[in-house]
Amino acid sequence: MYAQIVKSTGTLKSREDMSPEEAHFQDRIDAGEKIEPKDWMPEGYRKNLIRQIGQHGHSEIVGQLPEGNWITRAPTLERKAILLAKVQDEAGHGLYLYCAAETLGVSRDELTEDLLSGKMKYSSIFNYPTLNWADMGAVGWLVDGAAIMNQVPLQRTSFGPYSRAMIRICKEESFHQRQGYDIMMKMAQGSDAQKRMAQDALNRFWFPSLMMFGPSDKDSVHSAQSMAWKIKINTNDELRQKFVDQTVPQAKYLGLTVPDEGLTWNEEKGGYDFSEPDWTEFFDVLRGNGPCNTDRLDARIKAWEDGAWVRDGLMAHARKKSPKVAAE
Amino acid sequence: MSKEWPLWEVFIRGQHGMSHRHVGSLHAADAEMAIKNARDVYTRRNEGVSIWVVESTNISASAPSDKGPLYEPSNSKVYRHPTFFDIPDDVGAM
């Protein structure tokens, strides 16, 4: 759950074109120093990070919806409690990220309003429906698996608050992927009907999961500057390859078939060759035409509007009494 | 006046006698709610036994540009570290 396409401001500058401040800033990044909120930073760095962290945070928040959908219908009380804990984690992850973005001078309300107006994006994956319980397994296994692939390197990102948020998130995220795989194992080892459901979930989520890494490097116009600034660590294609190499054996273990006839082991590169996802579909979903775009945004808008009187009431109450609790 | 809940900084003390440590921030209408939210956001996995919250606007911070004047003077005072002094082995542990 993270940023997929972040429009960057400005193109990659050569050393000679940098102002002394910009050159000093780049030196700090090259030396592996963390940039903190009060440090000088180029305006493009600030803007790109707000977009990227904001998009990442929005993905966590909107990402609660496809799974929240199944909390009341989990097959056992234990699975229900586990799914609830996972969805609660995602709320937490959204909050860590929003707070990191806020250190760059954007307010929480601005971030929320930009999500609700469609100005800011969230990951395309959450615009696909979760039709049955097997989808909870596929989402945890594949979607969280893809998210982890992207988030682990981001722990080393140059912006201190973002890096710290990523470290916390990564610590918590592997529970998510394991709980998904646990569901898949149960279903893949179950009755024929359950096996068919598991295979069907894999069929539907495989290519949308590959899309989570963003467009192919040759079409990814925003990467160079982000990589120089270390707000992006690996290219989209590198991470996608890594994800496929890691996930195919996991599917084999489950006895499921990855829905890609072009999938073959390439001895020479020590990885799998695989088919590209349908990029036309990807851009179409980003533009708002996926199966669930309208539902997802409607749900967020409803939550925001229905909660307005609570937010206002609590604020008015707090202003009236303003208690001070002494530190322990 | 903004209706946005103010930002609070959250400090958590873990179980093993360490100091409270800054873990992040959150929005809340008042201190009581900030503590409750901090419990939910920052201690879901037994991270702490005590929570401090303080409104972010009440924190003053040193400026990054003061780094030199603030911290450089200590660089020249190497005698503040015990390893500065050579004590003969014969003296024993010290």
Q: Does A39 touch chain B (CB under 8 A)?
A: yes
- Report helix, strand or coil for A289: helix
A328–B40 C-beta distance less than 8 A: no
Q: Which of A102, A315, A328 lies closest to B5 in CB terms?
A: A315
Give the tens place of pLDDT for each residue, A20-32.
Answer: 999 999 999 999 9
pTM exceeds 0.95 for this model: no
B30–A321 C-beta distance less than 8 A: yes
Q: Does A24 touch chain B (CB under 8 A)?
A: no
ipTM: 0.84
A39–B40 C-beta distance less than 8 A: no
Mean pLDDT of chain B: 91
Q: Which of A92, A102, A318 lies closest to B7 in CB terms?
A: A102
Give the tens place of pLDDT for each residue, A160-195.
Answer: 999 999 999 999 988 999 999 999 999 999 999 999
Residues 16-75 of B with CB under 8 A from A: 24-27, 29-33, 35, 40-41, 44-45, 50, 52, 61, 63-64
The Cα–Cα gap between A230 and A239 comes to 15
- Report helix, strand or coil for B11: strand
Residue A55 in this model has a pLDDT that exceeds 90: yes
Cβ(A80)–Cβ(A74) below 8 Å: yes
The Cα–Cα gap between A169 and A190 comes to 32
* CA triple A86-A91-A94, angle to 5 deg: 125
List CB contacts (< 8 A) between A165 and chain B: 24
- Give how far B23 is from chain A: nearest CA, Å: 9
The Cα–Cα gap between A58 and A141 comes to 20
Residue whose tokens read 């590209």: A276
Give the tens place of pLDDT for each residue, A285-323.
Answer: 999 999 999 999 999 999 999 999 999 999 999 988 875
Burial group, residue B68, by CB count within 10 angstroms (0-12, 13-18, 19+):
exposed
List CB contacts (< 8 A) between A107 and chain B: 4
Residue of B nearest to A317 (CA): B29
Q: Does A38 touch chain B (CB under 8 A)?
A: yes
